[in-house]
Chain A
Amino acid sequence: MSKIIEVSKTVIKHPAMLQKAVEYLNDFKKYGVVEAQFTQDASGKITGGYIHLQTPDTTYGRGHIFLKFQGTGKPEYSEDGIIQNGHFSLMGDGDFQSNKNFATLISDHYNAQVVKNLFESQGQPVEFQVADDGAITVETCEPEGLAACGY
């Protein structure tokens, strides 16, 4: 008797999460972050910056993506610090369908890293894979370790 737990709308939180997410993206060579820069105000909120991301063809989009934060306006945050969609603008030859896709991409990588850290903090090594369409799986074998499950 199994149940599935689905955690949704787990989007990027401000401000360290966004920068951390970009670092995590850098871990994946297939999502090469060519360059990323941010500016912050005195409170630490991200007020500007850009990310140049090169992606393969995935459900998130493909090609060279140039993401910049809207000019002078500060991004708005919900009470729990979530950056709302719509604070990003795309430029260049980006092929994303919407800004939301980019937010989803870096959210997924951030969330995957959190899950990986969760297992590893419990002494469980993990397998961490990215499918061609961008889906990420984090697998472990409890309590024996990966080898016991044939990894």
Chain B
Amino acid sequence: MRHKVLIHGGTVLALFKDGIAHSLLERLGGTASIRRASHVEAPANPLEAIEFTVDLTPSNGPILNGFPSYESAVAAEVDWLHANTLNPNKKTIQNTP
């Protein structure tokens, strides 16, 4: 699985991942904040249709529908976050005063 870390403006930004988060803090110092980036929703009624939804609105993204498995939904979720939130051409990180 792809893993990307964006560094800009005195800030280091990454998807939270066990091990990485602790190691980043340990090695970089500074302070950390963790925020929700997205949700993966299970099917409302699994007996009728198995379809997972990715809600990227916490990151100002879309809601993506129609994933047949949890794994495929998570993969799409991570791809979107890498391509947008962690994309240096689309970043919105500001220098903090």
Question: Which residues of A approach B to under 8 Å, CB–CB?
Answer: 1-11, 13, 59, 80, 82, 100-101, 103-104, 107-108, 111-112, 114-115, 117-119, 131, 133-142, 149
Contact = CB atoms under 8 A, between A and B. Distances in A.
Interface of B: 1-16, 20-21, 23-25, 27-40, 59, 74, 77-78, 81, 85-86, 88-89, 91, 95-96
B12 A6 contact: yes
B3 A142 contact: yes
Contacts of A140: 2-3
Given A108-B9, A136-B7, A4 B85 contact: yes
Contacts of B38: 1-2
Contacts of B32: 5-8
B12 A1 contact: no
Contacts of A114: 27-28
Contacts of A1: 36, 38-40, 74, 77
Contact of A137 (B11, B24, B88): B88
